Amino acid sequence: MPRPPLPIGTHGEIWTRELEGGWLALVKFRDFDGVTRPVERRGRSKAAAVRSLKAALSERGKRRPGAEISPDSRFGDVAKKWLNTVEQRVDAGDRSPTTLDQYRSVLNKHVMPAFAELRIGYEVTVPVLEAFLQATRTHKGLGVAKTARSVLSGVLGHAVRHQALDRNPVRETSRLEGRRKRGNSGRRALTRDERIQWLAQLEADEKATRWDLPDLSRFMLATGVRIGEALAVYWADVDLDDGVVCVDFNVVRVKGKGLIRKSTKTEYGERTLPLPSWAVEMLRKRFIEAEKPTDGPVFPDSLGGLRDPSNTRRVLRETRGSAGFAWVTSHAFRKTAATILDEAGLTARLIADQLGHSRPSMTQDVYMGRKAVSRETADAMEDVI
């Protein structure tokens, strides 16, 4: 009867042999692919050769079938493999390209300089991670530190999934928390008088009118959409006869590609919104005046293409004035729309559907403020301006 094979990940008896100038330690090891291979190490003495061999066997025993990652792998090499998986998820439509750009930026600027050459199995420790994250929070800010934590967790989680690590040490680091925010994240809604004054101020500003800020403000007040969603609306998404607009996309800038329309984050973000009559009339006027109304965005740039949300926010800051409206951002219109709907007595579910939130609790906590939205939302907006 043949001798049974060695169990996977184990070795047989260690043999030693004296050589000229030292010793050789040799053993047969059954790898995780089922193949038994000889493993040998040399040393100046018999004991040194055996110690070296046992250390090699210990590391070899931690590897798994077809593993490209081991505890001895450098963090930088593992990070490249992890980033490739994120790129694949972006190509498959499971992750946002802006998330990839953000991860890549923080990885290259902050994480790699500190961790690239460290061995993931025994040099990327909880104390090392904790010290890095706290220093990043102090010197670079909470936002960068949180993204860096996500990147570190992603890289080391990738190593865990390839069984090079038993656990993800990032989970043992302390939470990164900022100062407690008061109320609804410091945002408030524009009152009716403020809305009238705001639009009058924009209409009187040449730069604001050149950038379409008056009508863009009206559209965001009428719908409660994000500025990127507003700028992603094409004329094909607008039905002036039924008075509705389909909000299915967001404008983002992707490195190497420029501005693109990408689908909203979740299925709840894809929604068809009814419009108040004054918003329909505003859009109808724009449609008539547009040179190519059926071909492109409702709020295009000077060349008729997509407009950059970041640049539009900058111009909004430059034209909002310093007295009275210095606090206003594009999100204030979203907050205002949610507040108007709340004051009209609409349910949190209806308001969440209008804003594209999956959970009404989030709407209540942050904005008060699904695909099927009641006509009541448009009726409530009739008195906005």
Closest CA to 289 of 300, 276, 274: 300
Summary mean pLDDT of the chain? 85
Distance CA(52)–CA(43), nearest Å, equals 7
Confidence band (pLDDT; 50, 70, 90) for 366? low
Q: Is the pLDDT higher at 51 or at 263? A: 51
Average the pLDDT over 172-201 and give the result. 77
C-alpha of 206 from chain center: 36
Packed helices 75-91 and 97-106: angle between N→C axes, nearest 10 degrees? 170
User: 270-284 burial string, b = 16+ CB within 10 Å, else e?
Assistant: bbebbbbebbbebbe
**What is the structure's pLDDT at 40?**
92
Residue 181 reports pLDDT greater than 60: no
Superfamily of domain 75-172: Tyrosine recombinase, N-terminal domain (1.10.150.130)
**What is the structure's pLDDT at 66?**
47
**What is the structure's pLDDT at 151?**
96
**Is 192-383 the same fold as 75-172?**
no
Q: Is the pLDDT higher at 77 or at 65? A: 77
The continuous run of DSSP H or E covering 210 comes out as helix 206-210
Distance CA(267)–CA(353), nearest Å, equals 11
Residues 90-123: pLDDT tens digits?
A: 877 777 788 888 999 999 999 999 999 999 988 9
**What is the structure's pLDDT at 42?**
92
272-286, 310-324, 345-359: range with lowest mean pLDDT: 345-359
So where are the chain's domains? 15-60, 75-172, 192-383
Residue 163 reports pLDDT greater than 90: no
Amino acid, single-letter form, for residue 157: G
**What is the structure's pLDDT at 25?**
94
Task: Express as a percent the part of the chain with pLDDT over 70.
Answer: 88
Distance CA(366)–CA(224), nearest Å, equals 13
**What is the structure's pLDDT at 229?**
92
Class (C level, CATH) for 192-383: mainly alpha
**What is the structure's pLDDT at 183?**
46
Q: In the structure encoding, which two tokens stand for residue 372, read together? A: 């099927």
Distance CA(144)–CA(148), nearest Å, equals 6
Packed helices 126-140 and 142-161: angle between N→C axes, nearest 10 degrees? 150
Residues 199-250: pLDDT tens digits?
A: 999 999 999 999 999 999 999 999 999 999 999 999 999 999 999 999 988 8
**What is the structure's pLDDT at 367?**
52
